Structure 1
Amino acid sequence: MSQPSSIYEIHDDRFRHLIVGTSDLEELYSDCRWAEGPVWFADLGCLIFSDIPNQRMLRWTEGSGISTYRSPSNFANGNTRDRQGRLVSCEHGGRRVTRTEIDGTITVLADSYQGKRLNSPNDVVVRSDGSVWFTDPTYGIKSDYEGYRAEPEQATRNVYRLDPASGELDAVITDFGQPNGLAFSPDEKTLYVADSSSSHDTSAPRHIRAFDVAEDGHVGNSRVFCELDNGLPDGFRLDVHGNLWTSAGDGVHCFGPDGKLLGKILIPQTVANLTFGGPRKNRLFITATRSLYAVYTATNGHSLG
């Protein structure tokens, strides 16, 4: 492993081809309590992200800076866009997943499973077939800081799939301690899910698991994709080459498709989430505790948000 140079740690030579060595880390905003859930709107040229404890969603635009997108936000956490360009959000406060329609109205996509309330939906992604996949740990009901304290009604902390045609909700993965960030590979044949249960149990794993996904949405062949050596995995995204860029305790960790750590981007604050954006999707936007950061890369993001 090389010593840190600037903000980068090189663990594998492949990482040198993914970064712009002269690109500085920019702090775009620094007045959050816990920044999360960044999603890029290419058609509007803006980034929307959550500031969970402050009950607001913020909008960042190049040249204009920060403005309020929604307040109160119902303790919104993770966000993405669907195939029609609509905002899909996980709300701790309502223990639900919602969609913001083009006219600004809000549609509830899911708030219960088998007659019982969800825990506190955390992160969400939409597959090309329109199905909505989200994680449901208990962070939003553990205290009144990021939601409303409550006892969980679900026996397990699941990953769910919402069918776009029938509206049926299925618990497709049920054996996580605390499922958190999730994303698909560029070909959508692999689903990656972070387990962040070490946040409250130091003996718990700090890894991201991978699953095979069939055309009909069936999930199988669970295996550990990678383990973090600093902090825990929260939100993450993949680039067009299938490299996985994840949040971590000391910054952003980049793993190759083979699960090997390629390198790190060192960030002054604990990272919660990230997304690729900008006109060419080569700018990595990073939500890290109090701040929103950005850095240009030599690769491009593949997902909508």
Structure 2
Amino acid sequence: MSCPTSSAVADAKVEPSPTTTTTTTTTTTKTTSTNAYSIRDAAAQSPEAYEDEHVHSVYESIAGHFSSTRYKPWPFIASFLRERVVPGSVGLDVGCGNGKYLGVREGGDVHIVGSDRSPSLVRIARGRGFDVAVADGLALPFRPGCADFVLCIAVVHHMSTRDRRVDALRRLLECARRDGGQVLVYVWALEQSSSRRGWDVDSEQDQLVPWVMKANQNKKDKGSGDDGGGEGGGGGDVDATYERFYHLYREGELEEDMRAAGGRVLESGYERDNWWVIGGHAAATS
């Protein structure tokens, strides 16, 4: 069964609620929740509202600059697309951002449909000629089993509870063919002692990671975005800081969540401060 065509995806897209485009005042000045409670407790009270504030509205505010920092595919993901995906395949990129991976497999022998929660990033990807829909990762508009492969790069770690992260993986698996479909997922690792961030096994797994935008940067990058605090701007005369929620995955945790979602782990590894897993459907039991 094939995935929806461009027009079908547009008809099926799930538009975010109005709360996803809150003003920069909310994302740059509201920090009372983290002062009064731990990040985990604040998120547990209302995961959807917490992600609206610390994920969705942030990406709407920084979309242009975020996109400008997303131009080079990561080596393993590029090799997966170029060497493991056979001609004639149909794939999905859930959380595709500006479409960085949608053009890796050039030549027209593989079709990839993208989706993202951010309307601004979707507009950028569409402007580059890609087939993209606005859709929430927990409410995907694609038919079950429609894809030969599914990508989900640096998305699941933005879900603020384990139940939601496992559910996100379950939704990805539902999109993949039961007979050999594969799901490639990347998440930020807790083990980053050699990076500039300095997180390691003793660090808190739930973090608010700042993205600092220099004054007037957004005007320069409008219409065109480094994870973990790229610098560059909300309009106006002052810098703006946006706090994005991340759950940092410890070693082995992504594999546990893939199994909890009903999948099986085909491969897993570590690249550039990220854990990755390739999952598939669990073997049928007799």
TM range (shorter): under 0.3
Please identify which structure carries the higher strand content.
1
Scaled by the length of structure 1, the TM-score of the pair is: 0.26
Q: Compare relative contact order (CA 8 Å, sep 6+) and give the higher one, 1 or 2.
A: 2
Please identify which structure carries the higher helix content.
2
